Amino acid sequence: MKLRCCLLGLLLGAVLPTRAAEPDFPLVTAQECRPRLGWPNFLAKAATPGAEVKVAYFGGSITAQAGWRPKSLAYFQRTFPTAKFSEIHAAIGGTGSDLGVHRVKADVIDHRPDLVLVEFAVNDGGAAPEQILRCIEGIVRQIRRAAPRCDIGFVYTLTEALSAPMLEGNFQRSASAMERIADHYGLPTVHLAMEVAQLAKAGRLIWRAPLPKTESERAALGDKFVFAPDAVHPHPETGHELYLQAIVRSLPAIRTASGPPVPYTLPAPHTPANYERAQLVPITAAKLSPEVTALDVRTDTIGKRFANRLPALHRAATAGAKLSFRFRGTRCAIYDVIGPDGGQVRVTLDDRPPEVRPRFDAYCTYHRLSTFLIGSDLADAVHTVTIELLPDPPDKAKILAQRNQKIDDPAKYAGLTFTPGAILLVGEIVP
């Protein structure tokens, strides 16, 4: 599972498009650690001999790598040798807080963590600040409501595409938005890439390059530092080591800021329209036509591969296959698996004109988890959704060409499927 998630993130490289900072959304001054109220419950338990301490790593492909996640877990174990540390691996490549707010219960809370480290600043890089505030606060409030002794920290990572504000001494916009929620709840934050930005500003960082393999290659680098193979996912030996050292430097300040262990109480929300009501509902809550069939998690390749995230995966492979459901709430999306055999669907929400939505994109040379939004900022009322698989395929060759990819095996891309596993709601299903 760990290897699969890591490979997923590396292959996808899913960094959302960036936008210029909006003039009405001020950026936060860069600072490696803001300890705020610390991690009193986590640190007290970690110092207890024989305690079993769980750290949840909740983020995207950078967290899914064999990098800062296992390195920091090992550091915690060395720092608190009498406790026993284990991880909750809750990272999915190419996903941000908009999915995270729906899956936090199943992937994080239900595993009873003592500390949750949230890493979505890169994959939220193209999201509007208002959306980030809703999702990140929804994650925090769900954790705090279900597990009032669980500590939470935000960690921020960086890519070359998002680095311009950091070179000027400010957090990137996504991290700046998250700081507002951290301030409101007293959560420690650590920007893992402060040293990365300093090296880049000094002209000593190589954002994108393979690691040197020979003495002559190392000598040719001089005092320059190779960060990542793709300007996004750090090399474990270099970029991820810088990320680890940021945590090492920050822990003493977080310890100093931590008071005695106490259960947290929830204050009034920072953003009243936050997604605290977000939930993940198995697709079986919808009305499914006979052509929409369950994947056997024991024998089906896709069903087995994604069973840990979507145990109720279904597949529609016949044109005209439908699913429908009703919900009361303000937002709705579908959590599915897309890949080379993806087709396209017609989505109808209430009495709006139907929309055709391809379940295939430029990364669909392999299968991966994905989502598609049906409606957001809806009236908090009852809504009806119908989704139908269409007989006509998306233009797969044209879509793949966006990333200079080609259809190398026509049989591999011949299918026209829709593979849903869950409904993502801010609200609830109604009969």
DSSP assignment of 178-210 equals: HHHHHHHHT--EEETTHHHHHHHHTT-EEEE-P
What is the DSSP secondary structure assignment for residue 286, as one 8-state letter? Answer: S
Give pLDDT tens digits for 120-153.
999 999 999 999 999 999 999 999 999 999 999 9
State whether residue 122 is helix, strand or coil.
coil
- How far is CA 380 from each of CA 327, 392, 428, rounded to the nearest angstrom? 10, 34, 11
Residue 107 and residue 104: Cα distance in Å, rounded?
Answer: 5
The domains located in the chain, with CATH, are 2-257 (3.40.50.1110), 278-430 (2.60.120.260)
Q: Closest Cα partner for 259 from 34, 32, 36?
A: 36
Residue 303 and residue 290: Cα distance in Å, rounded?
Answer: 18
State whether residue 276 is helix, strand or coil.
coil
Q: How confident is the model at residue 25 (pLDDT cuts 50, 70, 90)?
A: confident
Q: Are 65 and 10 in contact (CB under 8 A)?
A: yes
Give pLDDT tens digits for 362-404.
999 999 999 999 999 999 999 999 999 999 999 999 999 999 9
Altogether, the residues listed in the chain come to a count of 431
Residue 194 and residue 183: Cα distance in Å, rounded?
Answer: 20
Give pLDDT tens digits for 404-421.
999 999 999 999 999 999
**What is the chain's Cα-based Rg?**
22
153 beta partners = 117
Q: How far is CA 233 from the centre of its chain?
A: 14
